Amino acid sequence: MKKTRFPGAAWRAPGNIVRRSLRSLLELVYPEHCALCGAGRDERPWCEAGARIAGLTWYDEPHLCAECATDLEPAVVQGALPQSGVPVFAGRPTGPELVTVLSQWKYHGVRGLAWPLVPLIKAAVSAAVTQCGPVNLLVPVALYGRRQRQRGFNQAAVLAQLGSAEAGGRVRVDLLRRTRSTGQQAKLNTEEARLANVAGAFAARSGPEPGRGRRVGVVDDLVTGGTTCEAAVSALRARGWDVCWVVAAGLAGGQTLDIPESGAKSDRQVDTAPVEF
Ligand SMILES: [Zn+2]
């Protein structure tokens, strides 16, 4: 897999000897263990870092052994949002391994776990483009400002960046804003309660005129009941955006999608008209 260094990283990439020495020192302070099986990095082969991600430094290893990484291989699933019917594509079904990795990444600051998610979001975006056509922009589901400051990043925005090359579109993090804190949807028991909790929780910037590049894809980390994405889609559509699909790393309850080996990208072209606001 191609490795791309993030801009401005030259000073963070010392020579191999210095790098190995620094890593050894770091491991004395912060010993690395596989997020799923707990094996130390000396005990098993480590997962290959598949890509360099903006904001991560060279010592942010995947924190996943190669054996456990096979539990996160792409197995694309498709579903639809419950009310709008917008198609949803995910890299694989949501399972305990994926939930653990995402939780360690989001809530415990294990930043290197973004790397094993790269194939998942790429597979989801590729399937969405093949099945439903390309988009002009990728729009990550926004976090409430305070939560994003606490976490230090928006996981959906990182995933959108990781999948943007497959989509052929730019990522816009400023189109969608969460206007209030909504807590954890998973803690609510009914779909009605979850819909009510997120109703009106997003605001979107106005879309361009018809024919001016307003096809967007929404990106989230996990889609479970779909109510959060539904609220985001509703806010975007209300301001004139054409939401074509939703992609995520994991989807609960989707159908397996058979992707032909040669079925890479759609030959349909993105409307390259400039986006105006
Ligand atoms: Zn492991």
Query: What is the per-residue pLDDT across 162-198, written as a single tens digit (0 to 9) for each?
Result: 888 888 778 999 999 998 887 777 677 777 788 788 8
What does the domain layout of the chain look like in residue ranges?
16-69, 73-256
What separation in Å is there between the alpha carbon of 44 and the centre of ligand 1? 8
Query: What is the per-residue pLDDT across 55-75, written as a single tens digit (0 to 9) for each?
Result: 566 567 778 898 999 999 999
How confident is the prediction for the chain on average, in pLDDT?
80
Query: What is the per-residue pLDDT across 88-114, written as a single tens digit (0 to 9) for each?
Result: 999 999 999 999 999 998 888 787 888
Query: What is the per-residue pLDDT across 200-252, written as a single tens digit (0 to 9) for each?
Result: 889 999 878 776 778 999 999 999 989 999 999 999 999 999 999 999 999 99
What separation in Å is there between the alpha carbon of 34 and the centre of ligand 1? 5
What local confidence, expressed as pLDDT, does residue 180 receive? Answer: 83
% of the chain exceeding 70 in pLDDT: 77
What local confidence, expressed as pLDDT, does residue 108 receive? Answer: 83
What separation in Å is there between the alpha carbon of 127 and the centre of ligand 1? 28
Whether the pLDDT of residue 123 is over 60: the answer is yes
What local confidence, expressed as pLDDT, does residue 140 receive? Answer: 96
What separation in Å is there between the alpha carbon of 139 and the centre of ligand 1? 32
Q: Please tell me which residue, 267 or 166, carries the higher pLDDT value.
A: 166
Average pLDDT over residues 3-32: 54
Q: pTM for the full model? A: 0.80
CA distance 45 to 68: 10
What separation in Å is there between the alpha carbon of 48 and the centre of ligand 1? 13
Q: Please tell me which residue, 240 or 271, carries the higher pLDDT value.
A: 240
What separation in Å is there between the alpha carbon of 53 and the centre of ligand 1? 22
What separation in Å is there between the alpha carbon of 49 and the centre of ligand 1? 15
What separation in Å is there between the alpha carbon of 222 and the centre of ligand 1? 22
What separation in Å is there between the alpha carbon of 37 and the centre of ligand 1? 4
pLDDT confidence band for 29 (50 / 70 / 90): low
What separation in Å is there between the alpha carbon of 94 and the centre of ligand 1? 18
Q: What fold, for 73-256?
A: Rossmann fold (3.40.50)
Q: At what angle do helices 191-198 and 227-238 cross, to 10 degrees?
A: 40
Whether the pLDDT of residue 262 is over 60: the answer is no
What separation in Å is there between the alpha carbon of 253 and the centre of ligand 1? 26
Whether the pLDDT of residue 36 is over 90: the answer is yes
What separation in Å is there between the alpha carbon of 118 and the centre of ligand 1? 18
Whether the pLDDT of residue 260 is over 60: the answer is no
What separation in Å is there between the alpha carbon of 35 and the centre of ligand 1? 7
What local confidence, expressed as pLDDT, does residue 171 receive? Answer: 93
Q: Identify the top-confidence range among 2-6, 23-27, 132-136.
A: 132-136
Average pLDDT over residues 258-275: 42
